[in-house]
Structure 1
Amino acid sequence: MPDLASHRWGHPASRAPRRLQPWLTERGSLTARLRAHFPAVRVRLLRQGPGQPLRDELAPLGQPRPCRSVVREILLLSGDTPLVFAHSVMTYQSLRYGFGLLRHQGVKPLGATLFANPRVQRSPLAWRRLDRRHPLWRAAAAAVAGLPPQLWARRSRFTLGHAELLITEVFLPAILKE
């Protein structure tokens, strides 16, 4: 199984701000945890369609080079306040051989589907502080104005048989204002 703690992913979550650490280390559904702390959590679908994994996503997906994939980007919001920018990627092969239902996910949180299936397994979490040089910081900044120069993110891989889905969640400043 490919290693998640590569390409600078794997920083201990203990380096993150203390109030953010429980969010970064949550092993259950992030959406469920958000709903317990924030009213009116909803999903805004930013994009879902053909793309390629980012360079630091290739190894965790077990891919030696860029490949045709499906990329999904969303914001998790409380009302109109963005809390989390999430980026998911899976190869077309994974879509065909395990995660085909995700093709029609729409504005339903992925966690609702993934955690409802007992056959889906989750890897250990990996963390990283992102800055303006990272494509996911730039994608989050394109969706949410006025972000600080650094954000914390976590990443995990979900597997169903031989199908793999990599999800990265970038935590936005408003999550600390609960």
Structure 2
Amino acid sequence: MTPHAKWHDHANGVAPSVNMRDWLTDRVSLTYKLMAHCQQFRVQRLRQQRALPLAEEWQAIGLARRQQVQERDVLLRCDGRPMVLGHTVLALDATTTEWPFFSSLGERSLGSTLFGDPLVMRGQLQYARLYGGHPLAQRMAAASGVDSFAYPLWARRSAFRRKTGIMLVTEVFFPEIEELRRARPDIKVLSAGFSISSDLSRHIHPAHQLLSFGAAR
């Protein structure tokens, strides 16, 4: 299968199941949606370094050619099981004024900082099916210790803008995510965002420890 993904502007382009469509198209913070579906949520950072972007990424963050970027990969785990690979790229010359906290996130959630920042604007969601030849599918297999998955893997991405900076965030879902059921009644998913319990605040960057987070713009 091709290592390149074909990205669609509508979820119908990838024909997901009803349950998978809900995970793909919901514009609220994926971090907090996952928290509502497990007892223990964890962000596991896999890598944060300079790297070449994927072939379908460099134009999406406004680069004139394919060149090195800042890259961050994490696994989002629910009760120990990996559910999502989060993959983020931004230009190498992006400043801390444009994207504060990015270099110091560690194993905190990037989503909590993006959704808690009123200066951040989110672009349109795009959707793709990934197969075994795609680099992100290969990273998922290596990180989770499996030989292969039941392909395709469902993925979505969107560009976030803050001042003049552009950050591209791609989320690839492990097949097991369709097995998740809501487990935390203390986390209320609201039409305007999330209310969270105090024990979840350790996943939020200190500068964004708010009681509620608005839905993505």
Q: Superposition pairs for residues 16-55 of structure 1, below 5 Å?
A: 16-55=16-55
Asked whether 1:170 is paired with 2:172, we answer yes
Alignment-mate amino acid for residue 130 of structure 1 = L
Q: Distance in 2 between matches of 1:122 and 1:105?
A: 20
Gaps of 5+ in 2: 181-217
Q: State the match for 2:126 in structure 1.
A: 126
Consecutive unaligned residues in structure 1, runs of 5 or more: 1-6
Give the superposed CA RMSD.
1.4
Structure possessing the higher radius of gyration over alpha carbons: 2
Deviation at 1:94, TM superposition (A): 2.0
* Paired position in structure 1 for 2:77: 77
> Identity of counterpart residues, as a percentage?
35
Q: Distance in 2 between matches of 1:38 and 1:119?
A: 30
Judge conservation of contact 1:129–1:152 (CA < 8 Å) in 2: yes
Question: Following the alignment from structure 1 to structure 2, what is the Cα–Cα distance between the partners of residues 58 and 150?
Answer: 23
The offset of 1:54, in angstroms, is 0.8
Aligned residues of 1:95 and 1:103 also touching (Cα < 8 A): no
- What SS class does the counterpart of residue 55 from structure 1 fall into? coil
Q: Taking structure 2 as the reference length, what is the TM-score of the superposition?
A: 0.75
**Cα shift readout 1:14-61 (whole Å, capped 9, x = no counterpart):** 311111111101111100111111221110110011112111001211
CA distance in 1, matches of 2:97, 2:75: 27
Task: Identify the residue that residue 3 of structure 1 maps to in structure 2.
Answer: none
- Number of paired residues? 172
Cα distance in 2, alignment partners of residues 138 and 170 from structure 1: 11
Partner of 2:198: none
Q: Distance in 2 between matches of 1:53 and 1:108?
A: 23
Provide the C-alpha distance between the structure 1 equivalents of 2:41 and 2:16, rounded to a whole number of angstroms. Answer: 24
Q: Which residue of 1 aligns with 2:183?
A: none
Tell me the residue number matched to 1:9. 7
Rounded Cα–Cα distance in structure 2 between residues aligned with 1:152 and 1:170:
6
Give, in whole Å, the separation in 2 of the partners of 1:159 and 1:41.
27
TM-score, with length taken from structure 1: 0.91
Q: Aligned residue for 1:147?
A: 149
